[in-house]
Structure 1
């Protein structure tokens, strides 16, 4: 279970360069505006999306797009190409190393599957093993297992067991009911061990019982070291060690407990629970033999946990981007990278188990994304390549953070992307709220914000209450404020920048995706902030319809989470743009991926129908074959083209 169980993931979302540093220089605001790069340059998938380091540090694998062809490129430690895997239009969700011998490719496909009582369209995860040795065949996890559904429900790491590389995956058992087609007969997954170089598969753990969920951590011997059982009705949980003894128990009514892995020595479990009284996630180390749990990292705001492929916890990254290893040390070379840089961020992407070699990326002012490999002992680094090779120099819009105050006095901040080469006064504006809503925007190169800024708009990305850029108390401040103070926080960001003379509040549109799409439509229906237009992408517009099967009065973990987010006794009609369509105060463009399995396409159909019935100006653009995350370059570009054209029609920059 995770803190984002109920999040609507926001949709906002090259050749190899020679090793060396990039010379960056700022363009003054009054300089002549550079020609805007074509929309395709922003809609294209990044030239480099991911980089991971093999166990020994001998190889770097990068997920790349070169000449519109997606591929995984493997380089040796000198930067020389070793192997190339063409992945075509696969929707890659992650890559990992299997030792130094193969690449584990995680990808998703939108497909209809036969479940226990019906057929369901979903975004199903599949895993392939791509060996560096040409004599070995590509392995597809579960593909040859007639009694196991051909998709992966969960991943529990990679281990070296008796000289073999073994991956541990959750999967669903298949069977026939009354002579019908093979179906998934239970919605509770079992755990399987898969030889990653032969595909041989064995079940190693049984599913949880009815109304329960189960998670596992695997030990260095390839056996189950920890089992978490969770009751989906009352939130009670137990944690068991390898011998089956209960070493921890408790209650998390909202499901906010998570196994993070074993410590570096493999003798203790690292796990998290949520402290409602203190409004904070707490991290614990618990000996596998039992005993008293000790708290970890209590003095920092943890953003994410650094783990090895075999799920050993090496340390954490805090919300400032700082790295703290489990032994209390910090890798000084990486920590010093931002010194002297323009505002931006450094993101850790790959590492060896001993942290001697790292892959990381930078992004921010005058940096549209750069990727590096570093030796931490010497601090030496080599460039792997550029993320946006066709958007460089003065074409990169300047980025800054700003602080402002909500109507009730709460201190907030946001990200402002400004049009390059223009005076930054009384600018036309795009308010671009993020998805989630448990997410946040950072001062980095954002392809969507940059595309608008290049065409003369100031782009405002408010981190409203409920965002994850601050502590958990700030996240909790968003509970029950879906369509309430979250929405007014968004409007207050525009007012604040207008008061400073940076933007013209009378020349603003609101644009967003997923929860941001909801906010865009709420901004011209349930709330009216004077926007000239609204663009919603893959958004939720009819809240009751969206949560129809989860707000039926059942006391389940999921229902309690939804009620916490929206408000237990919320008036869903008052919050839903569909029910308030007659109040629409500006033209609306709806864009939705036809294969969206997170927010159904029907949400935009309902919104279009409601606006049309109310005699309002609305258009719906269907993105065929596209999912919730806008995973494909052609449809990303089509979305940008339509959104920018619509905004320019109703709120021209000049």
Structure 2
């Protein structure tokens, strides 16, 4: 069977299975959108014989493992309400699940933070081990992502850990998956930022960052130890390591080096514009060139060597593989998806079994398993099975000019069934970051609002990533200024095109998008009928001050980053008050809904409480809803749905779609 035929058979099976539902014309309930994805983190085993994934069973998460050859369940683990952040195979017999919890460690002076833990599930005996479980002097917390390497002792996990008895150390441990015991592999202090490990788990390179000197240092192996190879002052934008290069004794560094020839297109990409491949034995730096400007790199699942890159564009993700076999595999897969842009999720060590994901117009999200040997494609599962193709609104690319002439790209999601939009009620949905971007995929939040009759505009305003370094830097110092009017310029564009009704526009967003929603009601006046802020920043000066209080040094790199983006010269700069919605509450010209998770460790809940207090004192209409047990990312189904239901209720009350 050909790959294309396999797709057709799988698609036909899905249509037959859901044909009865297709006769139902009513829109799905909000629960269909607000629920956690029914399937996520799909990972194929190294040999390609098994799949591990996280699913939702009766509102609780569970990890399931499927034996592909037998077509049966090979095991599983009920996770409950724990937040699962990642799955990794440890050989063929074990799966490492990374979970997180919000907590504080008062005895160490660590404020409320998101802590990550590793749990190793054994398929053979269904047992569960926690990383550092047998280490009495090491906290059962992972500081940084765990990495699995195939050592002489078998699959081994490498991760950094902290021992309260050695307050200045944050060592790299090698953890045996058989007993969860961690042994120090490399001594490391708090200045150590990252490692690149070879396939055996040996350090190929290390990077350090010292807050006091503001210097970033690259260390390479010399005579059996890591020694300084290059140092640069980096007050804000540090270089960083990106894994192994194309050959075993090379690494990739993203760094600005004016003393060397930059990579082709340097400065034109928002993320990886200065890539170098460094030989760890000779110390020689070579510019790394790709066709196009990559947003991320691809490494071989077994060797860890660099084999390609990926770029997120207007129509989705595109891949550029330098490894010939990987290029052939992906070309075959890409050709089979004539009407969509598949995303690579995971693949086996021999690259013959590949998990891909699609979503977008008419597709609420589907995982498929491609078998290159058999030429088949099987549907693994849908992320939102209750949302059928006819209920997914069309997503269009939109371009318009900002007031100063800068071209802004946005996505417009239309209500399902609408093909000729005219005079629609509009919701501007601003993304977080702000150094982030929206993409051409199924967006559960935008689609939920569209299903209620709203057109939804998601602008990638200046300061967003993916449009070049100059576009990113155009956002510096533009909080509440041009970054804000980029949003309302999109409203004016849609009104001019006859798509949106100028009298029926609201603004919604989370994180930075929450700030943008508040600023829309307090700074950019006369545009919006209402505003919904989820975990938004309301007082910029107090937000930066809070960031300063979190670090060991008040003048830390994070603080310097936010001061630059917000337009402040120093911590405590009172000029930020003129851009802070909480300081401008008396100017609010629209009702405001504030929602915030009590466990938010990124934007503390007092940012919304400050705004609520200011609006109350100013006599302005507002509502404040605190979400118990929720973090910054809406990780819990119950509170995600609550946020969505309250948002729709508020929109329908102040900007009814009919």
Q: What is the distance in 1 between the residues matched to 2:211 and 2:409?
A: 36
Question: What number of residue pairs does the alignment pair up?
Answer: 618
Residues in 1 aligned to 2:76 and 2:547: alpha-carbon distance in whole angstroms: 45
Q: Which residue of 2 aligns with 1:44?
A: 35
Residue 562 (structure 1) aligned with residue 562 (structure 2): yes
1:197 to 155, 175, 178: 178
1:278 partnered with 2:271: no
Structure 2 CA distance for aligned equivalents of residues 337 and 155 of structure 1? 30
Q: Deviation digits for residues 22-49 of structure 1, max 9, x if unmatched?
A: 689xxxxxxx994221111111111111
Instruction: Find the partner of 1:238 among 208, 217, 233.
Output: 217
Q: For residues 440-471 of structure 1, what are the alpha-carbon distances to aligned partners after superposition, in whole Å with 9 as ceiling and x for unaligned?
A: 11121111111111110000000101111322
Name 2:399's counterpart in structure 1: 403
Which residue of 1 is the match for residue 231 of structure 2?
A: 249
Cross-structure match for 2:149: 159
Shift of 1:377: 5.6
Deviation at 1:564, TM superposition (A): 1.9
Q: 3-state DSSP class of the match of 1:174?
A: coil
Matched, 1:323 2:319: yes
What is the match of residue 633 of structure 2? 629
Alignment partners' CA distance in 2, 1:240 and 1:69 = 44
**Residue aligning to 1:261:** 243
Out of 467-476 and 324-333, give the one that drifted further: 324-333
Matched-pair contact (CA < 8 Å) for 1:532–1:587: yes
1:225 shift after superposition = 2.2
Q: Match for residue 87 of structure 2?
A: 95
The answer to whether 1:144 aligns with 2:134 is: yes
Which structure is higher in RCO with an 8 Å CA cutoff and minimum separation 6?
1
- State how far apart, in whole Å, the 2-side matches of 1:344 and 1:482 are: 35
Q: 1:18 to 1:409 in 2, by over 3 A?
A: closer
Written as runs of structure 1 = structure 2, the 5 A alignment for 1:530-549 is 530-549=527-546
Counting only pairs closer than 5 Å after superposition, residues 504-523 of structure 1 correspond to structure 2 as 504-523=501-520
Structure 1 segment 106-125 matched on structure 2, within 5 A: 106-114=98-106, 116=108, 118-125=109-116
Contact 1:159–1:310 (8 Å) recurs in 2 = no
2:120 to 121, 129, 140: 129
**What are the ranges of 5 or more consecutive residues in structure 2 without an aligned counterpart?**
1-6, 16-22, 259-265
Counterpart-to-counterpart distance in 2, 1:519 and 1:636: 20
Q: How does 1:4-19 map to 2 (within 5 A)?
A: none
Residue deviations 1:91-127 (CA, integer Å, cap 9, x gap)? 00111111111111001001121353x3521111111
CA separation in 2, counterparts of 1:427 and 1:300?
A: 38
Q: TM-score, normalised by structure 2?
A: 0.88
Q: What are the Cα deviations for residues 307-328 of structure 1, in whole angstroms up to 9, with x where unaligned?
A: 3377543322122422223436
Q: Distance in 1 between matches of 2:158 and 2:337?
A: 41
Q: Which residue of 1 aligns with 2:370?
A: 374
Q: CA deviation at 1:641?
A: 0.6
**Counterpart for residue 443 of structure 2:** 446
- In structure 2, what is the equivalent of residue 105 of structure 1? 97
Deviates more, 1:160-169 or 1:598-607: 160-169
Q: Is the 8 A contact 1:323 1:330 kept in 2?
A: no
**Would the aligned equivalents of 2:132 and 2:181 in 1 still touch at CA under 8 Å?**
no
What residue in structure 2 maps to residue 5 of structure 1? none
TM-score by length of 1: 0.89
Offset from partner CA, 1:226-256 (integer Å, 9 cap, x none) = 1212222344233222332434333333243
Q: How many Å separate the matches in 2 of 1:256 and 1:328?
A: 33
- CA 156–49 in structure 1, closer or farther in 2 if over 3 Å, else same: closer
Contact 1:148–1:174, Cα closer than 8 Å, also in 2 = yes
The match for 1:348 among 337, 344, 349 is 344
- The corresponding residue for 1:4 is none
Match of 1:612 in 2: 616
Gap change, CA 1:335 and 1:509, over 3 Å in 2: farther
**Distance in 2, Cα, partners of 1:262 & 1:69:** 38
* Structure 2: distance between partners of 1:596 and 1:237: 30
Please tell me whether the aligned partners of residues 509 and 651 of structure 1 are also in contact (alpha carbons under 8 angstroms).
yes
For residues 591 and 309 of structure 1, what CA distance do their matches in structure 2 show? 44
Label 1:365 to 1:336 Cα distance change in 2 as closer, same or farther (>3 A).
farther
Aligned counterparts of 1:54 and 1:408: Cα–Cα separation in 2: 51
Q: Residue 225 of structure 1 aligns with which residue?
A: 204
3-state SS of paired residue (1:523) = helix
1:648 and 2:627 are equivalent in the alignment: no
Equivalent residue of 1:165, what SS? strand
Matches of 1:619 and 1:333, distance apart in 2: 53
> Contact 1:156–1:216 at 8 Å: present in 2 too?
no
- Change in Cα spacing, 1:384 to 1:340, as seen in structure 2 (3 Å) is closer
CA deviations over 1:169-228 (Å, ceiling 9, x no partner): 1122213xxxxxxxx834x5221111112212111222336xx34321222333322121
Q: CA deviation at 1:19?
A: 7.1
Q: Retained in 1: the 8 A contact 2:268–2:293?
A: no
**Alignment partners' CA distance in 2, 1:649 and 1:58:** 52
CA distance in structure 2 between the aligned counterparts of 1:300 and 1:460, rounded to whole angstroms: 28
Paired residue secondary structure (2:284)? coil
The change in CA–CA distance for 1:125 and 1:510 in structure 2 (over 3 A counts) is: same
- Of 354-363 and 618-627, more deviation after overlay is shown by 354-363
